[in-house]
Amino acid sequence: MIGALLFRIVRRAGAGAVLSLLLLLIASNSVAAGMAGILRGLDALPLLTTATSALLIAWLLARSPLPVWLVGVLALLLGVMIVFLHIGHLSGILMESIGALAGVGAETWRGLLAGHPDGVLNWQLPAQSLVELGAAAQTLLARIWKWLLALASSESRYDPIAAALAWNLILWAVVAWAAVAVRRYRRPLLGVAPAGALLVSALSYSRGNPASLLALLITTLPLVAVVSHSTRQHRWRADSIDYPSDTGLDLAVAVIGLTLTLVTASMLSPNLSIRQAVNSARQLLQGPADQAERVAGSLGLQRQSVSATALDRARAPGLPRRHLIGSGPELSEQVVLLIRTDPMSTGPRPPYHWRALTYDQYTGSGWFTGRTETFSYSATEPAGQPPETAHRIIHQEVRVEEEPDELLYATGSLLAADHRYWVSWRVPPAAGAGDAFGATISARNYQVDSWIPNVTESQLRATGSDYPSWVGSRYLALPRNVPARVYALARKLTATAATAFDQAQAIENHLRTYTYSLDLPDPPIGQDTVDFFLFDLQRGYCDYYSTAMVVLARAAGLPARLVVGYASGAYDTVTDRYVVTEADAHSWAEIYFPPYGWVEFEPTAAAPAIDRPDDIPLADTPELAGEVRETGALAGWLTQTARSWWPVVALPIAATIAWLLSDSWRLRRLSPLRAEATLYRRLLRFGQRMAVPVRAADTPYEFAALLIDRLSQLAQGQRRQIAIAPAIDDATALTCLYVRQRYGPHAPSVAAQTRAIQTWRRLHWRLWLACVWHLLSRQG
């Protein structure tokens, strides 16, 4: 049965058209697969879905009689809608909204059938769904707008959602153009050229493997032959020229042989090499280096870099906590540190993280640090300065209880110590800046000053993305072999988070749902550690949690680093000290928020969440909470709903406008008599919907009289009179035009056709209203 169905499809569409579509499908998917191999964080499946959808939709539109400009507009609108819903993860919310609206519609219909059209309907669920959909769409548009502004202002800002949207829309455009060029214009080379140029340009910048061009070349050559042969056959049939029926077989043999010859030659001959073509494109595309790097970085296009040396990896192979006193995830109550901080007047002591080392480069199986330079500082000599933004300086007295490892422990960023100490810098310090790998001190008892940001959640939400160059270049980097599903999870978690802080918090909250466990198997050889933890293991200890958060944050476009040290420990009120044991060995994540610097996040499920101060909203004040809820809830709900409905309303409006334009264009393309007959048949169908007693023997004037009588009955009441009464004159005028064109002594004219189309534009929406009122009057 399937074979017979396929045979009928091929016979109806034509073997040449079906074969051209299949070859173009392979070519477009080869471009999508090639782009997925060189783009940061983009999985092949979304790109393949985009390419296939664009090809099929544009092919069907190109097959229609619509003008090419309208085909382009419709393909672009559909592409934006599909890509926006897919990449923004809004399809689920949209389906929930549609389901909620359908439920209200079904409830309304049941009420009409039961004779209770004025029953109370529950609009709460549809309203909530629409508000959620609108808020998510607004967040996505805001992220895209910020990304575009950063790109226009010569600022390198990588946003994975915006980059994914941009690449999918670009792919949609080039594939849709290929479909239109092949299906309508019979120009396969002209159609495939933009897709090939896109792939060559991306390969030339990223220095990717040019072998991905082979599939495009292998399919393009047969596509040219098939389209050319189909065009010739069509012309021969139109001119009644006989031709041998086996020309297709001869052409297939010749094309296959020629394709294999050219592909083999391109692989072996230096003058025809694909790699040579990519290198030539690279030379042609060379421009201002900083501008190219900025645009490519914003789009997630990254060059293949040379892997770090074995010496660098040897500095910190694997997961990093082995450098601390008491290595590994095992638990021990052996005390390692006693720390006293500045006395507080009242209240409990706040928890701190005691920082030792920070890591910047993830390998897929662990962490290591990049090149550093060590500076020596005398006692009390400052290693850096606190920033000009709000901060708090913490004075600490540290006592190392076990054999000293010479690592210097302090909360936040180091300022100075009371003994000689050394700091290993990745980036030399400046005011409020500097990127330290760690510090060492030979003393067993020392005092140290450090600073931490004193910032609220509201302030963090208000930060931008004006990262220093050393932050963006170092702390957004990930290995090229990080699996695509890790990037996909990062996009899913942060797609509708409005600010960088909300995105970081969404990742943190997600990771805190994983089970904490010390009994773990080793990751399989060759599998990424974060991928293994997130999707296979789904349990772990702090090294896994913190590594996963840093990787997910970077995949979401947030500069992040991994920090190793100790958790706060237990506070001893008798000695006024924090007692830190080997069991408190810990790692956590820090994310950079300009201008405040590095801010701590705690993704480990077994550790207490970080309690950040924030401003108290008005509604949280007990005396005013009730009044605010009573007087402002309805107004706030209406305002939020109105602001959130526009994405849902805009798409149907755009589709309606496109349909009206295409319908008007189609009516004008018809002959005057056929256009009049089409409009009269539509008038007859509306009469049937309104239960007009039409008989087969009725003349057009008799039908018009019955229709006018029915419209007059429905136009009772002031509102209905205003909406329906003008339809009576328009229906009469359209009927008269049809009779004169159909039965008059003069030939049908274009001017009469134009008047009939204009009359129908005014008439048809009033007829729809009349049909609705007719349905309601029947149920009432």
pLDDT (tens digit, 9 = 90+) per residue, 233-256?
Answer: 677 667 666 655 555 545 555 556
Strand 421-427 vs strand 413-417: parallel, antiparallel, or unpaired? unpaired
Give the confidence band of 469 by pLDDT, cuts at 50, 70, 90. confident
Q: Is the confidence at residue 522, as pLDDT, over 60?
A: yes
Does residue 731 contact residue 704 with C-beta atoms inside 8 Å? yes
pTM beyond 0.85: no
Q: Is the confidence at residue 626, as pLDDT, over 80?
A: no
Give the SS3 label for residue 294.
Answer: helix
Q: Can you tell me the mean pLDDT for 320-335?
A: 56
pLDDT (tens digit, 9 = 90+) per residue, 395-442?
Answer: 999 999 876 668 899 999 999 999 999 998 888 776 446 788 999 998
Q: What pLDDT sits at residue 448?
A: 95
SS3 content of the chain, % helix, strand, coil (to 5): 60, 15, 30
Does residue 55 contact residue 24 with C-beta atoms inside 8 Å? yes
- Residue at token pair 């042969």: 229
Give the span between the Cα atoms of 34 and 25, in whole angstroms.
14
pLDDT (tens digit, 9 = 90+) per residue, 637-655?
Answer: 444 444 444 444 455 666 6
With pLDDT > 90 as the criterion, what percentage of the chain qualifies? 18
Q: Is the confidence at residue 373, as pLDDT, over 80?
A: yes
Give the span between the Cα atoms of 623 and 332, in whole angstroms.
50
Give the span between the Cα atoms of 349 and 571, in whole angstroms.
8
Q: Can you tell me the mean pLDDT for 327-346?
A: 70
144 phi, psi to nearest 5 deg: -65, -40
Sheet strands (E) in 430-576:
435-441, 445-453, 515-516, 539-540, 560-566, 570-572
Q: Which of 152-156, 439-443, 712-716 shows the lowest mean pLDDT across its residues? A: 152-156
Q: Is the confidence at residue 736, as pLDDT, over 60?
A: yes
Give the span between the Cα atoms of 218 and 671, in whole angstroms.
45
- One-letter amino acid identity for 204? S
Counting every residue written for the chain, the total comes to: 780
Give the span between the Cα atoms of 530 and 550, in whole angstroms.
10
Give the confidence band of 140 by pLDDT, cuts at 50, 70, 90. confident
Give the confidence band of 203 by pLDDT, cuts at 50, 70, 90. confident
Give the span between the Cα atoms of 339 and 572, in whole angstroms.
10
Q: Which of 553-567, 646-660, 694-708 shows the lowest mean pLDDT across its residues? A: 646-660
Q: Can you tell me the mean pLDDT for 80-86?
A: 85
Give the confidence band of 288 by pLDDT, cuts at 50, 70, 90. very low
Higher pLDDT, residue 368 or 262: 368
Q: Can you tell me the mean pLDDT for 511-523?
A: 88
Closest CA to 738 of 692, 669, 674, 668: 674
Q: What pLDDT sits at residue 292?
A: 54
- One-letter amino acid identity for 459? Q
Give the confidence band of 617 by pLDDT, cuts at 50, 70, 90. very low
Q: What pLDDT sits at residue 231?
A: 76
Q: What pLDDT sits at residue 261?
A: 66
Higher pLDDT, residue 762 or 42: 762
Q: Is the confidence at residue 622, as pLDDT, over 70?
A: no
pLDDT (tens digit, 9 = 90+) per residue, 116-136?
Answer: 555 555 667 777 777 777 777
Q: Is the confidence at residue 629, as pLDDT, over 70?
A: no
Q: What pLDDT sits at residue 163?
A: 81
Closest CA to 491 of 472, 510, 475, 477: 510
Mean pLDDT of the chain: 77
Q: What pLDDT sits at residue 367?
A: 87
Q: Is the confidence at residue 542, as pLDDT, over 60?
A: yes
- How many angstroms separate the first and last alpha carbons of the chain? 49
- Residue at token pair 């239109």: 180
Q: What pLDDT sits at residue 239?
A: 66
**Which DSSP state fits 309?**
P
Q: Is the confidence at residue 345, as pLDDT, over 50?
A: no
Q: Can you tell me the mean pLDDT for 202-211?
A: 70
Token pair of 132 as six digits: 């959620």
Exposure string of 109-125, with b = 16+ CB inside 10 Å and e = fewer, is eebbeeeeeeeeeeeee
Q: What pLDDT sits at residue 280?
A: 53
Higher pLDDT, residue 391 or 251: 391
Give the confidence band of 289 by pLDDT, cuts at 50, 70, 90. very low
Q: Is the confidence at residue 752, as pLDDT, over 90?
A: no
Q: Is the confidence at residue 339, as pLDDT, over 90?
A: yes
Q: Can you tell me the mean pLDDT for 41-50?
A: 80
Q: Can you tell me the mean pLDDT for 14-25?
A: 80
Q: What pLDDT sits at residue 548?
A: 95
Q: Is the confidence at residue 309, as pLDDT, over 50?
A: no
Give the span between the Cα atoms of 19 and 223, in whole angstroms.
8
**Is the peptide bond prior to 595 cis by the omega test (within 30 degrees of 0)?**
yes
448 Cβ neighbours under 8 A, 6+ residues apart: 395, 396, 398, 408, 409, 410, 414, 415, 416, 417, 418
Q: What pLDDT sits at residue 189?
A: 86
Q: Is the confidence at residue 173, as pLDDT, over 60?
A: yes
Higher pLDDT, residue 92 or 633: 92
Q: Can you tell me the mean pLDDT for 743-772?
A: 82
Closest CA to 213 of 271, 283, 286, 262: 262
Q: What pLDDT sits at residue 740?
A: 82
Give the span between the Cα atoms of 431 and 438, in whole angstroms.
18
Q: Which residues sit opposite 399 in a β-bridge?
A: 338, 445
With pLDDT > 70 as the criterion, what percentage of the chain qualifies? 73
Give the confidence band of 291 by pLDDT, cuts at 50, 70, 90. low
